[in-house]
Amino acid sequence: MISGLAALQFKSPIGGDDAVTSLLQGSATSSAGGNVGTSFAEALSQAASKTVNTMQNAEQVSIQALKGDADTRQVVDAVMSAQQALQTAVAIRDKVVSAYLEVSRMGI
């Protein structure tokens, strides 16, 4: 199943570790001119990478537990973190789609 997640390709990725705040934390940095250094697409890309990494980590810990190398507590923590990251990614995706649909309904 690890290869299944590794095969995922995101064009405009979404996702995160703990919550929406941690997903985009540190993604917008100020430069010397005072401009924001990271674009929205880059922030989403970083968040998606974190989500995929969290899910892959949960799979690896689960496999280690099946081999007897990991504690049940580690598996539960990893799986719950992956679940939270996936739910956050879905919520962000839903908001982006909703915003797109609202903008597309606007009259010019």
**Residues facing 30 on adjacent strands:** 36
Residue 73 pLDDT greater than 60, yes or no = yes
DSSP 24: H
Examine the pLDDT at 74 and tell me if it is beyond 70. Answer: yes
Residue 12, phi then psi, degrees to nearest 5: -125, 80
Predicted pLDDT at 71 = 92
Q: Which residues face 36 on adjacent strands?
A: 30
- pLDDT-derived band at 41, boundaries 50, 70, 90: confident
Torsion of CA 25, 27, 33, 34, to 10 degrees: -30
Residue 88 burial (10 A CB sphere; 0-12, 13-18, 19+): buried
* Res 80 pLDDT > 80: yes
Q: What is the pTM of this model?
A: 0.61
Give me the mean pLDDT over the 21-25 stretch.
49
